Structure 1
Amino acid sequence: MTAASTPRAVILGCSGTALTAEETAFFRDLRPWGFILFKRNIGTPDEVRALTDALRGTLGRADAPILIDQEGGRVQRMGPPHWPKYPAAGRFDPLGDEAAEIARLGARLMAHDLREVGINVDCAPMLDVPVAGSDNIIGDRAYGDTPERVIALGRAVAEGLMAGGVLPVIKHIPGHGRATCDSHLDLPVVEADRESLSRSDFRPFRALADLPLAMSAHVVFTALDPERPATLSERVIREIVRGEIGFDGLLMTDDLSMHALQGPFRERADAAYRAGIDVVLHCNGRMDEMRAVADAAVDLDGAGARRAEAALARLAAPDALDLAEARARFETAFLTA
């Protein structure tokens, strides 16, 4: 790959259901590694497919990652009337012995929906383990309230997505479950000791560290780095994410525009790169903010390029699926629970 075609280590959003001329020129010039879609970008299936084609067209890369947050429940960017409404993660555990099987099936069905419109990365499964008194930003988005259940159901969801030709993103590493505020609005500070974090919060991420992509937590862990959130902390990324947890996949930030982070956007992006993040993520599609992030953007090279290539190499054609039978099986599991 020539320097002129090397992707930049950034994932960006766009403003609507079709690219503007300004966005097209900006993305073509910047060459982001990938893109992320939100509800504002979702029209009809044909419109979404046209948008994903246009985004990849600005880069000239047919396998360029296009992400979405499609968890089910409160966090589902694609839904009725064009796509099914999926249950929240917290509804699987009560299914008992068949919970993992149904969670895998639901993820396989989601992957079908996504791949049909050109989306090849889902920001799921969420591996956070909530505790009593934590903010409801996690709540029923969690697969359970023990590491064991989160591991079992998170693994099932990841397998279902990959079976459908979509890459999973484990989030929010090294754990958002203890946060007592919503990081979209403020900076959570977790004061648990290192042993407690290792015994509970880190465990699902250790167990699924073989997966290709992860998203960081905008959370301060006072036992690890009392001054910086994990996203911006070299110590957390080096010692915990890459060290104790053992994750060697591509590491992206959570959204840089969340209010947990402060300061100019160029400084946020630069701090994340210096901490050891591979790719920064900016979601809201605001051109002024994207241009500021772009000012700090670095080439995706070295270890980051290796991890990005390894992640995309795990994209595979979907396995066989009887769609009607699978949807009926999935829906019946909840009707009879």
Structure 2
Amino acid sequence: MHQHAPVILDVAGLELTAADRPRLKNPLTGGVILFARNWQDRHQLLELTSAIKAIRSDLLICVDHEGGRVQRFRTDGFTHVPPMRAFGELWMDDGKGAKAVPGSGALRASNAATAAGYVLGSELRSCGVDFSFTPVLDLDWGESGVIGDRAFHRDPRVVALLAKSLMHGLLQAGMANCGKHFPGHGFVKADSHTDIPVDKRSLKAILADDAAPYPWLSSTLTSVMPAHVIYPKVDMRPAGFSARWLQDILRRQMRFDGAIFSDDLSMEAARRLDGQVLSYTDAAVLALAAGCDMVLLCNQSLGDGQAVDELLDGLAQAQANGRWQALEASEARRQALLPETAPQPWDDLMVQPAYMQALDLLP
């Protein structure tokens, strides 16, 4: 059995440093998340991803690449994928007057979302990136500044079908997917990067609405990221630290068996539990105990990267002390997110008919 490798960390710059290499070799490291600061052009990105894979071929190279304003690589030929709201608007547009065909907008939008998934997934994979944290399944309540046009629609049925279409496109590109932010981040105004939003609705209301896409997509979703939100009627802990949300509701009730990622533990709000700010290690141990398979620590490799080493050392110590268990099932879920096919080289992709047609279908 492989050692369970739960940590997704980042690297500071455009190429690997002497400090990055031992962190990537650490058996607790399961992947790398890339940011705009790791991007100069396609050639550099491919060199960086190849260098990471040369250290360990099983590391999962991830990025937040949804389209709209959340897209880390935007130049040197990368297609600007529209924000997800554009697909929701297309869904509602059945044409005007005598030419209107009821429902035609929904079918066009579904096809366009598949095209977007294919374009996004195949371009990333050409540059050696394995995985993107997409799609957003949050509902567009018009309240959340942090979600905003990242959401497809207000109706969970429309969200589920457009997300399923996008995931179909990712699958054609050989890429897994990540539904976020479970059970829903669209209803609250506060930005969880700075403080913890609180959603006071009942479990019944949340399941009927915001969380509805998750069971509907249980056969399609390969991973989920919980919301950094507290739902006090269900649990006083944020969803990503809550066994009630992750094990009772998501795993047992909704029968989800894919990977669960914690949100970024470097957000101070993510470590403020029961009134105190926890260390990275304690927060990671709590997230793993609650049911996360992997924990993210972002933007901490900058400078001396002390926080990254602290987390890797602390988790090793916590494992030795029996504070968390390496789970074979968690490692299998992580490995299942790695692509199984070879990526297409960029120049081949550019002239491939399926890719050219997909570009034409984008709104």
Q: TM-score, normalised by structure 1?
A: 0.90
Shift of residue 330 of structure 1? 4.9
1:204 is aligned to: 213
Structure 1 position 251 matched with structure 2 position 266: no
Task: Note if 1:266 corresponds to 2:271.
Answer: no
RMSD: 2.2
Match of 1:52 among 38, 49, 63: 49
Shift of 1:7: 4.6
Q: For structure 1, which segment, 115-124 or 211-220, has the greater mean C-alpha deviation from structure 2 after superposition?
A: 211-220
Which one of 68, 85, 93 corresponds to residue 63 of structure 2? 68
| Equivalent residue, structure 2, for 1:315 | 340
The unaligned stretches of length 5 or more in structure 1 are none
Once the two structures are superposed, the pairs formed by residues 321-332 of structure 1 within 5 Å of their partners are: 323=351, 329-330=357-358, 332=360
Which of 115, 126, 140 is the aligned partner of 1:116?
Answer: 126
* 3-state SS in 1 of match to 2:6: strand
Give aligned-pair identity as a percent: 32
CA distance in 2, matches of 1:245, 1:322: 40
CA distance in 1, matches of 2:24, 2:206: 40
Question: Which among 155, 164, 187 is matched to residue 155 of structure 1?
Answer: 164
Contact 1:278 1:300 in 2 (8 A): no
Equivalent-residue separation in structure 1 for 2:336 and 2:238 (angstroms): 27
Question: 1:183 touches 1:259 (CA, 8 Å); kept in 2?
Answer: no
Query: CA–CA distance in 1 between the matches of 2:177 and 2:362?
Result: 24
Instruction: Tell me the equivalent position of 2:93.
Output: none
**Maintained 8 Å contact 1:255/1:283:** yes
Deviation at 1:327, TM superposition (A): 5.8
Partner of 1:86: 81
Aligned equivalent of 1:302, options 315, 321, 328: 328
- The one of 38, 45, 50 equivalent to 1:41 is 38
* Letter aligned with residue 208 of structure 1: L
Question: Contact 2:23/2:29 (CA < 8 Å) preserved in 1?
Answer: no
Secondary structure class of the residue paired with 1:189? coil
How many residues are paired up?
Answer: 327
Distance 2:152 2:140 in 1: 10
Q: Which amino acid aligns with 1:216?
A: P
2: CA distance between counterparts of 1:119 and 1:285?
A: 20
For residues 109 and 263 of structure 2, the distance between their equivalents in structure 1, rounded to whole angstroms, comes to 28
Distance across 2 between alignment mates of 1:244 and 1:71: 28
Q: Work out which of the two has the higher radius of gyration on C-alpha atoms and give 1 or 2.
A: 2
**Residues 47-56 or 23-32, more deviating:** 23-32
Which letter does structure 2 place at the counterpart of 1:71? E
Contact residue 14 and residue 23 of structure 1 kept, 8 A: yes
Cα–Cα, structure 1 residues 161 and 333, in superposed 2: closer, same or farther, change >3 Å? closer
- Paired letter, 1:255: D
Alpha-carbon distance in structure 1 between the residues aligned to 2:17 and 2:362:
42
Cα deviations by residue, 1:215-249 (Å, 9 ceiling, x for unpaired): 12111011210x21011111111111112222111
- Determine the structure 2 residue equivalent to 1:236: 245
Query: What amino acid maps onto 1:138 in structure 2?
Result: I
Q: What are structure 2's unaligned runs of at least 5 residues? A: 91-104, 320-324
Q: CA deviation at 1:24?
A: 0.8
Q: 8 Å contact 1:212–1:311 — kept in the other structure?
A: yes
In structure 1, C-alpha distance between the alignment counterparts of 2:355 and 2:26, rounded to whole Å: 42
CA deviation vs aligned residue, 1:270-292 (integer Å, no higher than 9, x gap): 11112111111112143122122
The residue identity in structure 2 corresponding to 1:293 is L
Number of the residue aligned with 1:105? 115
The offset of 1:140, in angstroms, is: 0.5
- The alpha-carbon deviation at position 194 of structure 1 amounts to 1.2
Distance 1:79 1:321, change over 3 A: closer
Q: Secondary structure at the match of 1:181?
A: coil
Number of the residue aligned with 2:15: 18
Conserved in 1, the CA contact under 8 Å of 2:121 and 2:174?
yes
The equivalent of 1:182 in structure 2 is 191
